[in-house]
Amino acid sequence: MRCPYCQHFESKVIDTSHDSHGGIRRRRECLQCKQRFSSYERPILSTPLLIKQDGTREEFDREKLTRGIRISCAKRKVSASDIERLVGQVESELQKMGKAEVSSRAVGDLVTAGLKEIDQVAYIRYATVYLRLNDLLSIREEIDRLLEPDNNKKN
């Protein structure tokens, strides 16, 4: 593992922890400059191609998904770890499907379900684009659905 500070190739592992998705977080110390840094390892499993609404196919892009969720969560009390956990859950669900191709709609459905649990304002922001809520009435209807007694959870 190359040190991000001095680019030296040798480091020692100080601590190792595992997450629920099979990833490994390692705390390291560079043997040359003594700076500490973290690395994250996760198994490389194939994810299906996403079939976009226009019929084109696209590789699943974890970074693109993370960016989209971060934009929805901007200036909200949503931690980076919550966002990473949601992205990991979406990726894991896609891998569990075991299909070569999946509709991009499946990704959007997984994200909206996760955001609805994490932060309802972030959910509305994401849903405005994903569900194409193009006017105030459609946004209000979605908010009203969230405020129904069955869906009323504190966030």
For residue 20, what pLDDT is reported?
67
Count of the separate structural domains present in the chain: 2
Is 155 a residue whose pLDDT tops 80?
no
54-84 pLDDT per residue, tens: 999 999 999 999 999 999 999 999 999 999 9
Question: Would 3 be classed as within a structural domain?
Answer: no
Say yes or no: 20 and 72 in one domain. no
Question: Would 6 be classed as within a structural domain?
Answer: no
Say yes or no: 91 and 70 in one domain. yes
Say yes or no: 87 and 146 in one domain. yes
For residue 14, what pLDDT is reported?
95
Say yes or no: 36 and 54 in one domain. no
Is 98 a residue whose pLDDT tops 80?
yes
Say yes or no: 73 and 147 in one domain. yes
Say yes or no: 78 and 147 in one domain. yes
pLDDT band at 137 (very low <50, low <70, confident <90, very high): confident
As a whole number, mean pLDDT of residues 125-143 equals 86
Is 19 a residue whose pLDDT tops 80?
no
As a whole number, mean pLDDT of residues 80-109 equals 91
Say yes or no: 55 and 128 in one domain. yes
Containing domain of residue 26, as a range? 11-41
How many angstroms separate the CA atoms of 69 and 123, rounded? 9
Inter-residue contact 60 to 50 (CB < 8 Å):
yes
Say yes or no: 33 and 101 in one domain. no
Is 150 a residue whose pLDDT tops 70?
no
Is 148 a residue whose pLDDT tops 80?
yes
Question: Would 18 be classed as within a structural domain?
Answer: yes
Cα 73 to Cα 14, 55, 60, 97, 113: the distances in Å are: 33, 29, 21, 27, 14
Q: Supply φ then ψ for residue 49, to 5 degrees.
A: -70, 145
Say yes or no: 88 and 138 in one domain. yes
Q: Supply φ then ψ for residue 17, to 5 degrees.
A: -140, 155
Question: Would 147 be classed as within a structural domain?
Answer: yes
Say yes or no: 107 and 144 in one domain. yes
For residue 96, what pLDDT is reported?
87
Mean pLDDT estimate for the chain: 89
Say yes or no: 126 and 93 in one domain. yes
